[in-house]
Amino acid sequence: MAQKTAAELPPPDAPISEARTAGYRALAGAADEMIDTHGNVRPVWQALVSAIDTMPEQDLHERFARADRYLRDAGVFYRAYGAGGSSERAWPFSHIPVLISDAEWQVLAEGLVQRANLLEAVVADIYSENRLVQEGFLPPQLIASNPEFLRPLVGIKPAGGHYLHFCSFEIGRGPDGNWWVLADRTQAPSGAGFALENRVATARAFSDIYSETHVHRLASFFGAFRKALQARTRSSDERIAVLSPGPANETYFEHAYIARYLGIMLLEGEDLTIVNGRVMVRTVAGLKPVSVLWRRLDAAFADPLELDQNSYIGTPGMVQALRNGSVTFVNALGSGILETRALLAFMPTLSRHLLGEELKLPSIATWWCGQKAEREHVAAHLDRMVIGSAFSRLPFFDDSGRSVMGSRYKDPQGRTTAEWLEAEAGNLVGQEVVTLSTTPAMIDGKLTPRPMSLRVFAARTKDGWQIMPGGFARIGSGSDVSAIAMQAGGSAADVWIVSDKPVDRTSLLPAEETFTRNMPGSLPSRAADNLFWLGRYIERAEGVLRILRAWHARYAESANPEQPLLAFVSEYLSNIDVDTKSGVPESLLRNIDSAVYSASNIRDRFSPDGWLALTDLSKTAKRFHEKVKPGDDAAHAMTILLRKLAGFAGLVHENMYRFTGWRFLTIGRLLERGLHMTRLLGHMTGPDAPDGGLDMLLEIGDNVMTHRRRYNVSTARLTVTDLLALDPLNPRSILFQLNEIRIEVEQLPNAMVNGQMSSLFREAMRLHSGLAVMTPEAMNADVYTNLERELEKLSDILAQSYLN
């Protein structure tokens, strides 16, 4: 049964539940987080359970709705992949947190710190002396045949000496109450940002309980890790960045969120270049050094020159930069080999050999079938074995069904399971079926046990490994205690580590008395490009909306598209690929979609309000496209879309910090508005323009009232030209756009170098000055055509100067 959202809970006027925990029982053979083996609520849960049990339905409904609203307004999503491609989905949030006592957590943390140290020692050996293979502690096949083993990295010692800086661990509690490590995450661990958002949402739902309960905060963990990243830089000029595969990645929201939360750059491979063995980011102010990259793309994609030659998201020469020691990767390229499922079988022996200690947290029981005795053991216990790829990096319950129960295996070649194991041997691994513990989830208004695992995070700091006091719990959608695949309908819950005494309430922000004002960092050229085109697409959409509204309003009166003025304007619209036969044409949707795409590439620079306003505009336009008819219906729809677009523009104008990125966004809008008005005036003020064209032009330019106030004559070509082309105070005129462009260009980096104007600044000055001395009588079709070319040339110079 799917978990219900707050909106699906019983109606608010329902009576108080007699007890939402009534009938709550642990599932057969599984431990439960909330109740002990006697069915009693564990002490750490009692305050929360008591509050939920006695909470009126309306109160609970409002609390859950508050959390859901926060996640929706914050734009939290993950990308799911299926047969039909990928799609953004709302974050699947389970409202009831998982509670663990501080004392139990300390034991877990000690075990995870030990494991992080062990993983560091293993990967350091694999890429250096390789003694573990030479001395028989690791089979050669598991390394040499492993797709995660990157030979070009052998012998490259990472800057600072450490391979691992940030890890996560998938852990579960067994029926005996003990915790087991189900998987190690070292390639590009995800989820820390989602854990933060889960915490905020849960705190919104249970603000009173949260504030009264001694729940460990998460900010100090991120603060310590940010300091550790900063310590890896060698000068104040070097930058720290999250290296993302881009918006198509399933956890891109988190990449942008983490970068924004920590105040570091969000980059993609195309933003970087290698110069003399150093990693440099292309910015609008030139190349700037980057010394720390928190990697969120798989290692093989990082360098198409020496690693995966088919990668389009990497940076050629990155491995050479590593050889030069000029950049620190979090985590080191090649560290994904530690996620190999078969390595779990060797962890106990490796711990004794490398650390001189038994594992404090055991791994899930694993047998590599490349060893005869282990293979025979798997074959003899098929009824409780899951068999899958030895080189898989995913837990068996999270690998989309590629692992199979040994007793259910059907060989396509007709072999017995034993024959299959013998033939594939070193490519297979057997793992004991895991029975996970359960935790309460709210189902149909009652707390119901659901299986869960925890994802816990570890960060290397100046004081060694630090474990995040929390994480997120992955909650199963049904009662199968071994199936928790997020993309198969599971959900995520916050994890509260509860102390019996007051906890540190550290904020990531510095204390007031020690604040410093940090100026915005250099803007990557790719981000500037997306901001520039976001401005252009938004303004292009507005221009089309204004023309279509005027056209459909007149069509509603005449119902004759062949009427001279309508036909004349239709011709203009046809030249820019806008079809008046449709109420909301496809080309308008494409413009808005292009704006959304540009914004999606710079989510770290966008406020949640701005993003929501833009996506709401897109959704509304698509809805109107399906049902709006030409005429009055379409004119009304254009008005609604214009209001939504104005809301987005207002949010950007009023709230966006006036840094370099805002200037590129603004220049994009100004340039597109100038082009729009230039083309319109050139088309509609000529001698062949039909009656009513000038009035329509004033309406499109939103200047009907202004014209009446400023000119004591009826509408005429010269007055309309003066107002819409040459008035320096009219925010819709061409001259106004050129003046504002000149002002913004002057503020861009390198606008003046050694007392000389840049080519862009010189061109902006020339264009403005040339139009400023024009008279309405001199404005004709040739002038407008030439001005259009000059504006396009200005756009090209800007791109050549800053965006390429």
Domain ranges of the chain: 98-341+437-504, 369-428, 525-656, 658-804
What's the chain's average pLDDT?
90
Cα–Cα distance for residue pair 235/213, rounded to 1 Å: 42
The stretch 463-469 carries a mean pLDDT of: 96
* Residues making up the chain, counted from first to last: 804
C-alpha separations of 101 from 24, 34, 413, 498, 570 in Å: 21, 11, 51, 5, 70
pLDDT (0 to 100) of residue 515: 46
Is the model's pLDDT at 507 over the cut of 90? no
pLDDT (0 to 100) of residue 10: 38
The stretch 277-305 carries a mean pLDDT of: 95
Q: Which residue has the higher pLDDT, 113 or 405?
A: 113
The stretch 289-312 carries a mean pLDDT of: 95
pLDDT band with cut points at 50, 70 and 90 for residue 7: very low
The stretch 318-324 carries a mean pLDDT of: 96
Closest CA to 98 of 23, 28, 31, 166: 31
pLDDT (0 to 100) of residue 3: 40
Cα–Cα distance for residue pair 394/402, rounded to 1 Å: 10
Give the tens place of pLDDT for each residue, 362-404. Answer: 999 999 999 999 999 999 999 889 999 999 988 877 777 788 8
Residue linked to tokens 């603004």: 666
C-alpha separations of 739 from 93, 514, 670, 734, 767 in Å: 49, 41, 10, 9, 9
pLDDT band with cut points at 50, 70 and 90 for residue 407: confident
Share of the chain above pLDDT 70, in %: 93
Closest CA to 15 of 63, 57, 74: 57
Q: Which residue has the higher pLDDT, 320 or 8?
A: 320
Is the model's pLDDT at 4 over the cut of 60? no
Cα–Cα distance for residue pair 482/288, rounded to 1 Å: 48
Q: Judging by beta carbons within 10 Å of its beta carbon (0-12, 13-18, 19+), is residue 581 exposed, middle or buried? A: exposed
Cα–Cα distance for residue pair 699/704, rounded to 1 Å: 6
Q: Which of 74-78, 494-498, 534-538, 617-621 has the lowest mean pLDDT?
A: 74-78
Give the tens place of pLDDT for each residue, 129-155. Answer: 999 999 999 999 999 999 999 999 999
Closest CA to 216 of 199, 234, 228, 239: 199
Please report which residue ranges of 685-758 form alpha helices under DSSP H.
693-700, 704-710, 717-721, 734-746
Fill in the DSSP letter of residue 516.
-
Q: Which residues of 394-408 are buried (b: 16+ CB within 10 A; e: fewer)?
A: bbbbbbeeebeebee
Query: Which element (helix H / strand E) includes 446?
Result: strand 446-461
pLDDT band with cut points at 50, 70 and 90 for residue 514: low
Q: Which residue has the higher pLDDT, 411 or 787?
A: 787
Cα–Cα distance for residue pair 209/682, rounded to 1 Å: 66
pLDDT band with cut points at 50, 70 and 90 for residue 484: very low
Beta bridge partner(s), residue 180:
172
Share of the chain above pLDDT 90, in %: 74
**In this structure, how many other beta carbons lie within 10 angstroms of the beta carbon of residue 654?**
7
The stretch 682-692 carries a mean pLDDT of: 92
Is the model's pLDDT at 508 over the cut of 60? no
pLDDT band with cut points at 50, 70 and 90 for residue 489: low
Give the tens place of pLDDT for each residue, 238-269. Answer: 999 999 999 888 889 899 999 999 999 999 99
Contact 688, 546 (CB under 8 A): no
Contacts of 309 (CB under 8 A, 6+ apart): none
Q: Listing from the earlier edge strand, what are the strands of the sheet with 404-405?
A: 366-368, 428-432, 385-389, 404-405
Beta bridge partner(s), residue 751:
none
Give the tens place of pLDDT for each residue, 617-664. Answer: 999 999 999 999 999 999 999 999 999 999 999 888 888 888 899 999
Cα–Cα distance for residue pair 80/372, rounded to 1 Å: 40
Q: Judging by beta carbons within 10 Å of its beta carbon (0-12, 13-18, 19+), is residue 661 exposed, middle or buried? A: buried
Q: Which of 440-454, 499-513, 790-804 has the highest mean pLDDT?
A: 790-804
pLDDT (0 to 100) of residue 524: 93
Is the model's pLDDT at 16 over the cut of 90? no
How many Cα neighbours within 13 Å face the side chain of 467? 21
Is the model's pLDDT at 512 over the cut of 70? no
pLDDT band with cut points at 50, 70 and 90 for residue 753: confident
Cα–Cα distance for residue pair 453/445, rounded to 1 Å: 23
Quickly list DSSP for 648-667. HHHHHHHHS--SHHHHHHHH
pLDDT (0 to 100) of residue 488: 56
Is the model's pLDDT at 206 over the cut of 60? yes
The amino acid occupying position 8 is: E
Q: Which residues of 429-452 are buried (b: 16+ CB within 10 A; e: fewer)?
A: bbbebbbbbbbbbbbebebbbbbb
The stretch 724-753 carries a mean pLDDT of: 95
Give the tens place of pLDDT for each residue, 159-187. Answer: 989 999 999 999 999 999 999 999 999 99
